């Protein structure tokens, strides 16, 4: 969050700018955030997705997975056509208020992988236990941003789709946008629905190399948590569990976002941080693990039918 008078960064909860003393007026997004508790308190029943909805969602997912995530095609070279704005447009901010009393809003980042509004993200950002989702019927709030400024410009509602056992193992899940969010403060919808969403449609990097550049897209709390934030680093290490460790800055809120290489090819999904008292490294779920997850989802659907 930044002061509109002097441009200096300030805490989201600040009433006055520490640099110039300007009074911080509550903006549209802060009003929206403050109204979230009321918005979701009206709906106490947890989400129960019928088999028909699951089937339709995963048909869309698998069609997309075969062409986007699970493709066996070789890595393309996008060095002359790396459109950062297009990539940034596909990375969304996610807020999932919990139905459990006194629990805070959970959230993180996600990437739209299908123009119909299918999002891939980390499972751990969705309030849940081993058997239940603690999310209201309205689902989660998803914010799309202006790729130039990184500021939120439209808001939607999405229902989470967590695959039994598989999501827990890989820490991956999906969301399906189903409506624009209605802003009660402004008495209007804060987005247009139905619409074609800005889906990630680039190449994949399934053979990351030690020392190669990494760019992370997401909404970390360290930068306020509301604006799209981009950090750079390199591939630092390859743990034996199939993850990628990077020097690119990753913190709480980056979970479920997007990691790309120097050509704009998807390298994976930032998920967590490994740190000690001196330094930290970001941890990325690699494309190998994402593709393995996609294969398990495909098998799950076949068994489900």
State pLDDT tens for residues 109-142.
Answer: 999 999 999 999 999 999 998 888 999 999 999 9
Looking at the fold, whether 148 and 167 belong to one and the same domain comes out as: yes
The answer to whether position 100 is within a domain reads yes
The answer to whether position 218 is within a domain reads yes
Looking at the fold, whether 165 and 192 belong to one and the same domain comes out as: yes
The answer to whether position 206 is within a domain reads no
The answer to whether position 150 is within a domain reads yes
Q: What are phi and psi of 121, to 5 degrees?
A: -155, -175
Looking at the fold, whether 101 and 220 belong to one and the same domain comes out as: no
The answer to whether position 45 is within a domain reads no
The answer to whether position 39 is within a domain reads no
Residue 164 pLDDT exceeds 50: yes
Looking at the fold, whether 225 and 278 belong to one and the same domain comes out as: yes
Cα separation, 183 vs 233, in Å, equals 38
Looking at the fold, whether 113 and 57 belong to one and the same domain comes out as: yes
β 152-161/173-180 pair status: antiparallel
Residue 39 pLDDT exceeds 50: no
Looking at the fold, whether 296 and 147 belong to one and the same domain comes out as: yes
Per-residue three-class SS string for the chain: CECCCCCCECCCCCCECCCCCCECCCCHHHHHHHCHHHHHHCCCCECCCCHHHHHHHHHHHHHHHHHCCCCCCCCCCCCCCCCHHHHHHCEEEEEECECCCCCCCEEEEEEEEECCCEEEECHHHCCECCCCECEECCCEEEEEECCCCCCEEEEEEEEEECCCCHHHHHCCEEEEEEEECEECCCCEECCCCCCCCCCCCCCECCCCCCCCEEEEEECCHHHCCCCCEEEEEEEEECCCCCEEEECCCCCCCCCCCEEECCCCCEEEEEEEEEECCCCEEEEEEEHHHHHHHHHHHHHHHHHHC
Q: What is the per-residue pLDDT for 240?
A: 78
Cα separation, 111 vs 217, in Å, equals 9
Looking at the fold, whether 120 and 236 belong to one and the same domain comes out as: no
Looking at the fold, whether 155 and 299 belong to one and the same domain comes out as: yes
The residue behind tokens 């029943």 is: 45
Q: Between the ranges 39-43, 95-99, 201-205, where is the mean pLDDT highest?
A: 95-99
Q: What is the mean pLDDT of residues 80-103?
A: 88
Q: What is the mean pLDDT of residues 24-40?
A: 36
The answer to whether position 121 is within a domain reads yes
Looking at the fold, whether 162 and 72 belong to one and the same domain comes out as: yes
Q: What is the per-residue pLDDT for 38?
A: 35
Residue 305 pLDDT exceeds 60: no
Report cis status (omega within 30 of 0) of the bond before 12.
Answer: no
Give the pair of three-digit tokens for residue 267: 């390298």
Looking at the fold, whether 138 and 255 belong to one and the same domain comes out as: no
Looking at the fold, whether 124 and 12 belong to one and the same domain comes out as: no
pLDDT digits (tens, 9 = 90+) for 233-281: 999 999 878 899 999 999 889 999 999 999 999 999 999 888 666 678 9
Q: What is the per-residue pLDDT for 272?
A: 84
Looking at the fold, whether 274 and 159 belong to one and the same domain comes out as: no
Neighbours of 18 (CB within 10 A): 11
Q: What is the per-residue pLDDT for 58?
A: 47
For residue 13, the enclosing domain spans 1-34
pLDDT band at 224 (very low <50, low <70, confident <90, very high): confident
In the chain, the number of structural domains is 3
Q: What is the per-residue pLDDT for 24?
A: 54
CA angle 225, 180, 184 (to 5 degrees): 80
Give the pair of three-digit tokens for residue 174: 């999906």
Residues 142 and 93 sit within 8 Å (Cβ to Cβ): yes
The answer to whether position 79 is within a domain reads yes
Q: Between the ranges 6-20, 70-84, 194-208, where is the mean pLDDT highest?
A: 194-208
Q: What is the CATH number of the domain that holds 233?
A: 2.40.10.10
Q: What is the per-residue pLDDT for 2?
A: 45
Q: What is the mean pLDDT of residues 136-150?
A: 95
């Amino acid at each position: 969050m930044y002061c509109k008078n002097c441009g200096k960064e300030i805490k989201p909860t600040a009433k006055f700018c520490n640099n110039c003393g300007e009074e911080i007026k509550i903006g549209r997004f802060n009003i929206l955030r403050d109204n979230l508790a009321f918005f979701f308190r009206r709906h106490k029943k947890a989400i129960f997705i019928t088999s028909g909805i699951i089937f339709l969602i995963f048909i869309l997912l698998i069609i997309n997975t075969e062409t986007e995530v699970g493709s066996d095609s070789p890595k393309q070279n996008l060095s002359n056509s790396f459109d950062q704005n297009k990539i940034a447009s596909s990375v969304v901010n996610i807020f999932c208020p919990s139905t459990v009393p006194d629990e805070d809003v959970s959230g993180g980042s996600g990437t739209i992988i299908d123009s119909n509004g299918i999002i891939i993200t980390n499972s751990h950002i969705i309030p849940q236990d081993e058997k239940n989702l603690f999310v209201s019927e309205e689902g989660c709030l998803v914010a799309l941003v202006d790729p130039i400024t990184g500021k939120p410009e439209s808001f939607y509602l999405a229902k989470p789709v967590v695959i039994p056992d598989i999501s827990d193992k890989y820490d991956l899940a999906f969301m399906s946008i189903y409506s624009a969010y209605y802003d009660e403060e402004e008495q209007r919808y804060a987005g247009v629905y139905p619409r074609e969403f800005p889906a990630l449609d680039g190449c994949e990097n399934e053979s990351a190399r030690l020392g190669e550049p990494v760019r992370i897209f997401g909404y970390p709390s360290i930068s306020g948590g509301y604006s799209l934030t981009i950090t750079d680093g390199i591939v630092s290490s390859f743990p034996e569990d199939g993850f990628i460790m990077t020097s690119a800055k990753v913190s709480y809120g980056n979970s479920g976002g997007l990691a790309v290489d120097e050509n704009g090819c998807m390298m994976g999904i930032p998920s967590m941080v490994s740190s000690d008292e001196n330094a930290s490294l970001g941890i990325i779920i690699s494309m190998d693990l994402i593709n393995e997850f996609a294969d398990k989802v495909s098998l799950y659907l076949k068994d489900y039918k």
